[in-house]
Amino acid sequence: MDKNLKIFVAGHRGLVGSALVRNLESKGYKNIIKKTSSELDLTDTLKVFEFFETEKPDWVFLAAAKVGGIHANSTYPVDFMLTNLKIQNNVIEASHKFGVKKLMFLGSSCIYPKNAPQPMKEECLLTSELEPTNEPYALAKISGICLCDAYNRQYGTDFMAVMPCNLYGISDSYHNENGHVLPMFIRRFHEAKLEGKKEVTIWGSGTPRREFMISDDLADACVFLMETKTAKEVGKFVNVGTGVDLTIMELAQMVAKTVGWEGEIKLDPTKPDGTMKKMVDVTRLKNLGWEAKITLEEGLKIAYDDFLNNENTRLN
Ligand SMILES: NC(=O)c1ccc[n+]([C@@H]2O[C@H](COP(=O)([O-])OP(=O)(O)OC[C@H]3O[C@@H](n4cnc5c(N)ncnc54)[C@H](OP(=O)(O)O)[C@@H]3O)[C@@H](O)[C@H]2O)c1
């Protein structure tokens, strides 16, 4: 690959964007454009068009988005729908208008129907109802996939889309409002250790099964696909996951071990469990030639080290 390609990583300070930058830099890419949201608000069409006209990037990774847990999604549904639609419409349209050679759109496995058969295959998109709490966010993401596909069909562009499972890792948010289970476990068990707590109670029965991937593995998959595949080969979009799941209780025990807290994990079965199993089918990704490399045990150590190094900022 030409390591001088001009690559715009939109959302480079986020969990996914920062992992993309690390991966690209480790592979020798030298010409990466990074803009914070205050330097370039991607919801502002004119500013986005001006930026693309001036910079003319060769590749774009679209990892800028308004992201949050169930609480934030339920409280601010307009923001989750409108901000994401604006960001992706602007960046995708500008990418076509100003000759971007390849674009990768980051979606999320929450786009799948609420009762999708497990593990969730790409083909089950739009086959039944979505989870009502994140419908506005999911519809925005589904629109992004469709828009990339529409540009490919109408204009012959090379815009691909990936749907990752739950992510964690360096530069994650540990704010209570994040609501993602893995970073919340890291924070709670770490605090339990500092406060000398003997027990921590987690929500639900502990039996639902979930899949977690470190953002560095996702970034590796994204860069692999951009370097070696076309949108035609990838299909409308491709799932990115580890192919391995575990129960919430098993996850809690692994996080507690990583953090070094030895108390008792209690369950509160009066609290909701959510879907009993949620994982993506990674057959298409494997057939394209990529598999996850970092185990959950290794990944948790990386994430916890980053949490410790950045404890104050990550909680804000
Ligand atoms: N986290 C997960 O578990 C997960 C799982 C599956 C898929 N994904 C997908 O991966 C993508 C990235 O998620 P993430 O977890 O990395 O999110 P994140 O950590 O919250 O980062 C999002 C980034 O988007 C940027 N951004 C937000 N609004 C912007 C705007 N108006 N203009 C310019 N930049 C803006 C922010 O930039 P500043 O920092 O400069 O404000 C931030 O760095 C999303 O599409 C998400 O759906 C995430």
Residue 262: inside a domain: no
Residue 175: inside a domain: no
Q: Is the CB of 145 under 6 A from ligand 1?
A: no
Q: Is the CB of 140 under 6 A from ligand 1?
A: no
CA proximity to 148, closest of 159, 139, 132, 162: 159
> What does the DSSP 8-state code read for residue 233?
H
Task: Tell me the C-alpha to C-alpha distance, in Å, between residue 183 and each of 2, 171, 208, 291.
Answer: 36, 11, 17, 24
Q: Is the CB of 37 under 6 A from ligand 1?
A: yes
What is the full per-residue pLDDT of the chain (316 aa) written as tens digits?
899 999 999 999 999 999 999 999 999 999 999 999 999 999 999 999 999 999 999 999 999 999 887 778 888 999 999 999 999 999 999 999 999 999 999 999 989 999 999 999 999 999 999 988 889 999 999 999 999 999 999 999 999 999 999 999 999 999 877 678 999 999 999 999 999 999 999 999 999 999 999 999 999 999 999 999 999 999 999 999 999 999 999 999 999 999 999 999 999 999 888 888 999 999 999 999 999 999 999 999 999 999 999 876 666 5
Residue 188: inside a domain: no
Query: Is residue 188 packed enough to be buried (19+ CB in 10 Å), middle (13-18) or exposed (0-12)?
Result: buried
Distance separating alpha carbons of residues 50 and 257, to the nearest angstrom:
50
N-terminal to C-terminal alpha carbon distance within the chain: 39
Distance separating alpha carbons of residues 281 and 120, to the nearest angstrom:
5
Report the separation in Å between the CA atom of 122 and the middle of ligand 1, taken as the mean of its atom positions: 22
Report the separation in Å between the CA atom of 173 and the middle of ligand 1, taken as the mean of its atom positions: 11
Question: Do strands 277-278 and 209-210 pair parallel, antiparallel, or not at all (unpaired)?
Answer: parallel
pLDDT, residue 311, reads 75
pLDDT, residue 141, reads 97
Backbone angles phi, psi at 178, to 5 degrees: -60, -50
Q: Which ligand 1 atom sits nearest the alpha carbon of residue 68? A: 20
Distance separating alpha carbons of residues 42 and 9, to the nearest angstrom:
12
Backbone angles phi, psi at 34, to 5 degrees: -125, 130
Query: Is residue 34 packed enough to be buried (19+ CB in 10 Å), middle (13-18) or exposed (0-12)?
Result: middle
Residue 45: inside a domain: yes
Residue 106 near residue 159, CB atoms below 8 Å: no
Residue 202 pairs with which residues in a beta bridge? 267
Residue 161: inside a domain: yes
pLDDT, residue 313, reads 62
Which of 230-234's residues contact partners 24+ apart within 8 Å by CB, and which partners? 230/158, 230/160, 231/148, 231/149, 231/152, 231/157, 231/158, 231/159, 231/160, 232/152, 233/288, 234/160, 234/161, 234/288
The range of the structural domain enclosing residue 29 comes to 6-169+211-241+278-294
Q: Is the CB of 186 under 6 A from ligand 1?
A: no
Residue 311: inside a domain: no
pTM confidence score: 0.96
* Host H or E run for residue 94: helix 77-97
Catalytic hit among 29, 137, 168, 174: 137
Report the separation in Å between the CA atom of 152 and the middle of ligand 1, taken as the mean of its atom positions: 24
Domain CATH number, residue 35: 3.40.50.720
Residue 13: inside a domain: yes
Residue 159 near residue 95, CB atoms below 8 Å: yes
Say how many domains are in the chain.
Answer: 1
CA proximity to 84, closest of 137, 6, 46: 137
E strands present in the chain = 6-10, 31-33, 59-62, 102-106, 159-164, 166-168, 199-203, 209-210, 212-214, 238-240, 246-247, 264-268, 277-278
Residue 198: inside a domain: no
User: Is 137 designated active site?
Assistant: yes
Distance separating alpha carbons of residues 78 and 136, to the nearest angstrom:
7
pLDDT, residue 315, reads 65
Q: Is the CB of 108 under 6 A from ligand 1?
A: yes
